[in-house]
Amino acid sequence: MTAEPTPPILSARSLSRTYGTGPACVEALKGVDLDVLPGTFTSIMGPSGSGKSTLVHCLSGMDRPTSGSVTLEGVQMVGMKDRALTELRRRRIGFVFQSFNLLPTHMVRTNITMPLRLAGQKVDEDRLRELTGRLGVDGLLGRLPATLSGGQAQRVAIARALIAAPALLVADEPTGNLDSAASQEVLTLLRSTADAGQTVLMVTHDADAAAAGDRVVVIRDGRVVEDREARS
C-alpha cells in the first residue's frame, strides 16, 4: 500500500497583501502559494523589500492578507476575529525576533516562562529543565537580560518561544544582531530544534543562514521565484 502523503502543518493559497490605494498602492505579496510540512525547517530568503517579512507575518497571523487563505493545523486563520487570532498565535506559534525582546527588569527564568503565565498555565518544571538544558541556558536562569551576550539572549528568546510547545516556531532574522560565531550557534540550535521534530520557519536575507534549513524559498517582488532544497 502507498502511504498517505503527510498533510502540511501550514498552508497558504493565492496569498496577496496590498498596502495603500490608488497610485500609492504597493503590492507586497502577489498570489503566493506555500505548504510547510511538520517537523521541517523552511528558510524564507530575499533582499530587503522583497516581501519575505510580509509573507511570514501573514503566515503567522501578525498581519492580515488582502486576499487568499492561510491554514495552520487545518484551522483557517483568514477571517478570524482579532481575539481568536491572538489566542491561536499565543497557543500554537512561538516567535523569535532579531531584537530578542526580553523584559529587561525580569530574570531569565521569568522571561522564558512568560508565555505560560500569560496563558494562565502552570510551569512544568521538568519541561523547563529539559528545554533550558538542551538550549544551554540552564545556567542563566537567575540573570538579568542586560548581563547576557547577544548569543545568550537569543538562546533565551528561543527557549521562551518553545516553552509552550508551539506547532510552529517563527524566527524573523534571528541572527541579524549577532556576530558570526553567535549566529552560527543560534542556527545550530534552530537546526537541532527542527531535527527534534519542531516545525521552523525562518526569515533571512543571508544565503549562508538560509542553508541551515531543509528548504529555501526565495521571494522577490512579492512572488516565490525559487523553491529548492537547502544545500548540505
Residue among 18, 175, 213, 68 nearest 227 (CA) = 213
In a domain, 178, yes or no: yes
- The cell numbers describing 207, all together, are 544565503
Which pLDDT value is given to residue 24? 83
Element (H, E) at 132: helix 125-134
Q: Which CATH number is 172's domain given?
A: 3.40.50.300
Residue among 49, 60, 73 nearest 15 (CA) = 60
Which pLDDT value is given to residue 199? 96
> Which residue matches cell numbers 510580509?
54
Question: In the 8-state DSSP scheme, what is residue 163?
Answer: T
In a domain, 45, yes or no: yes
- The cell numbers describing 23, all together, are 497610485
16 burial via Cβ count (<10 Å: 0-12, 13-18, 19+): middle
Residue among 232, 108, 208 nearest 158 (CA) = 108
Which pLDDT value is given to residue 226? 95
In a domain, 173, yes or no: yes
In a domain, 72, yes or no: no
Give the CA angle between residues 101, 103, 104 to the nearest 5°.
110
Domains identified in the chain, total number: 1
Q: Chunked in runs of 10, what are the mean pLDDT values of the chain (232 residues)?
A: 80 95 89 96 94 94 95 94 93 91 96 91 93 92 95 93 94 90 91 93 94 96 94 60
Q: What's the predicted TM-score (pTM) here?
A: 0.91
The domain in which residue 197 lies consists of: 39-53+81-224
Distances in whole angstroms, Cα of residue 28 to Cα of each of 124, 164, 223: 41, 32, 9
Contacts made by residues 83-92, CB under 8 angstroms, sequence distance 24+:
85/61, 88/61, 89/60, 89/61, 89/62, 90/115, 90/118, 90/119, 90/164, 91/119, 91/164, 91/166, 92/166, 92/167, 92/168
Element (H, E) at 26: strand 26-36
Which pLDDT value is given to residue 6? 86
In a domain, 140, yes or no: yes
In a domain, 26, yes or no: no
User: Rounded distance, CA 153 to CA 138, Å?
Assistant: 13
In a domain, 201, yes or no: yes
85 burial via Cβ count (<10 Å: 0-12, 13-18, 19+): middle
In a domain, 67, yes or no: no
What's at 189, amino acid-wise? L
Which pLDDT value is given to residue 231? 67
152 burial via Cβ count (<10 Å: 0-12, 13-18, 19+): buried
